[in-house]
């Protein structure tokens, strides 16, 4: 199989250029063609010598993701894509137009997958139920963003978004299929390309890595030269329940996880977010909200309350609106900053793994 050009960092591209007897600045030219000019072929890279272009085309692949299926919400502000990878496996990504609370700012967020399937096996999650297949390469992650960058630049969504959206991807969240920190090398290299000035030039402050709580990798991430936002899928405030909902908790329990998150904040200055999926009768009582508030006391953080979508399992149902509001008001009473997220993806089954399941069932 040919190698994928988007898998290469700037330094690796420099080494590749030098192996063809080309100077290092050719790597920056290629990066700019890929990520700024959004080139579709090596032929477009007209400032590269023709022989070098031909060699690149013969030995590497420019773009390897094939769009399989697109689904959008009625207002067109959330678009979910299913992509086929070169080995026939599939992954999903979501583009969301997000409006600021006062309606005066808008940005485009892409939610990317980092693995095919997931090994964490949270029992309420569609992807968790599929099991783990493989890690994505850096290029397979970057190309998910690149796909939407192209669509936005070509004004593909303008009919539905009525020209509201800026013509580029401004934010990236690693919240699609997979546990990003279990694929650390690919995810960190993808982030380097996303934030590179010669690459997509997205601010590290606008990139969020979500984790189920892989403590050693959180500690490693805190020491990177880039400081991205961290989101921790907490879902329960005691080990007994969390062992059931997020099985990695048996390896990295709360008394290990919470200090690592505190340390992340200390080293990076990035206020962590805790994601809490509300499950009817399981983790959504006001007492459990109080328990969460006690766990997080003294930690500068934000809690995102997520109304879950129905999965294949009857065991995990979404909390009612009243229950969710009760949970939220207890957190607010305890002075924990929080948001009850509007789950706008429900209409297109945008919850983790669900479009993927549907495609597999029908293909």
Footprint on this chain of ligand SF4 (rule: CB under 6 A): 118, 120-122, 125, 127-128, 177-179, 212, 233, 352
Could you tell me the smallest distance in angstroms from the CB atom of residue 297 to ligand SF4? 25
Between residues 118 and 279, which has the closer beta carbon with respect to ligand SF4? 118
Could you tell me the smallest distance in angstroms from the CB atom of residue 9 to ligand SF4? 26
Could you tell me the smallest distance in angstroms from the CB atom of residue 233 to ligand SF4? 6
Q: Where in the sequence numbering do the catalytic residues fall?
A: 92, 352
Instruction: Return the structure tokens found at 153.
Output: 């630049």
Between residues 193 and 233, which has the closer beta carbon with respect to ligand SF4? 233
Q: In sequence order, what DSSP letters do the residues of 90-139 get, joined into one string?
A: EEEEEEEEEE-TTSS-EEEEEE---EEE-SS--TT-HHHHH-EEEEPPHH
Give per-residue burial for 209-240: e unless 16+ CB within 10 Å, then b: bbbbbbbebbeebbeeeebbbbbbbbbbbeee
Between residues 126 and 138, which has the closer beta carbon with respect to ligand SF4? 126
Burial class of residue 4 (count of CB atoms within 10 Å of its CB; 0-12, 13-18, 19+): buried
Could you tell me the smallest distance in angstroms from the CB atom of residue 59 to ligand SF4? 34
Contact 230, 208 (CB under 8 A): yes
As beta bridge partners, residue 166 has none
Contact 112, 173 (CB under 8 A): yes
Backbone angles phi, psi at 74, to 5 degrees: -55, -35
Between residues 352 and 355, which has the closer beta carbon with respect to ligand SF4? 352
Could you tell me the smallest distance in angstroms from the CB atom of residue 49 to ligand SF4? 44
Can you state the angle between helices 184-195 and 215-222, rounded to 10 degrees? Answer: 30
Taking CB atoms, the residue at the shortest distance from ligand SF4 is: 128
Q: In sequence order, what DSSP letters do the residues of 32-62 get, joined into one string?
A: HHHHTS--SSGGG-TTS-HHHHHHHHHHEES
Taking phi over 0 as left and psi of -120 to 50 as alpha, with beta for the rest, 67 belongs to beta
Could you tell me the smallest distance in angstroms from the CB atom of residue 42 to ligand SF4? 35
Between residues 233 and 273, which has the closer beta carbon with respect to ligand SF4? 233
Between residues 45 and 91, which has the closer beta carbon with respect to ligand SF4? 91
Measured in residues, the chain has a length of 363
How far is it, in rounded angstroms, from Cα 73 to Cα 342?
A: 13
């Amino acid at each position: 199989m040919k190698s994928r050009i988007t898998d290469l960092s700037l330094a690796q591209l420099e080494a590749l250029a030098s192996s063809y007897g080309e100077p290092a600045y050719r790597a920056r030219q290629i990066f700019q063609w890929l990520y700024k000019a959004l080139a579709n072929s090596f032929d477009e890279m007209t400032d590269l010598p023709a022989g070098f272009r031909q060699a690149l085309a013969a030995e590497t692949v420019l773009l390897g993701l094939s769009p399989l299926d697109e689904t959008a919400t009625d207002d067109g502000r959330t678009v979910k894509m299913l992509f086929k990878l070169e080995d026939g496996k599939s992954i999903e990504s979501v583009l969301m137009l997000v409006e600021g609370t006062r309606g005066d700012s808008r940005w485009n967020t892409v939610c990317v997958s980092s693995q095919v399937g997931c090994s964490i096996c949270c029992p309420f999650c569609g992807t968790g139920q599929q099991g783990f297949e493989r890690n994505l390469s850096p290029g397979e992650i970057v190309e998910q963003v690149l796909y939407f960058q192209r669509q936005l630049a070509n004004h593909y969504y303008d009919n539905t978004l009525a020209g509201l959206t800026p013509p580029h991807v401004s934010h990236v969240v690693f919240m699609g299929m997979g546990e990003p920190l279990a694929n650390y090398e690919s995810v960190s290299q993808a982030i380097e390309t996303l934030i590179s000035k010669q690459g997509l030039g997205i601010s590290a402050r606008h990139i969020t890595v979500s984790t189920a709580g892989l403590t050693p990798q959180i500690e490693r991430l805190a020491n990177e030269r880039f400081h991205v936002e961290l989101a921790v899928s907490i879902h329960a405030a005691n080990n007994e329940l969390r062992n059931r909902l997020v099985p990695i908790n048996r390896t990295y329990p709360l008394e290990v996880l919470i200090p690592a998150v505190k340390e992340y904040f200390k080293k990076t200055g990035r206020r962590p977010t805790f994601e809490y999926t509300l499950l009817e009768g399981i983790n959504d009582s006001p007492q459990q909200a109080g328990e969460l508030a006690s766990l997080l006391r003294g930690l500068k953080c934000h809690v995102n309350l997520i109304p879950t979508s129905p999965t294949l399992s009857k065991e995990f149902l979404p909390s009612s609106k009243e229950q969710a509001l009760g949970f939220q008001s207890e957190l607010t009473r305890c002075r924990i900053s929080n948001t009850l997220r509007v789950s706008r993806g429900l209409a297109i089954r945008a919850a983790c793994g669900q479009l993927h399941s549907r495609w597999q069932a029908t293909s």
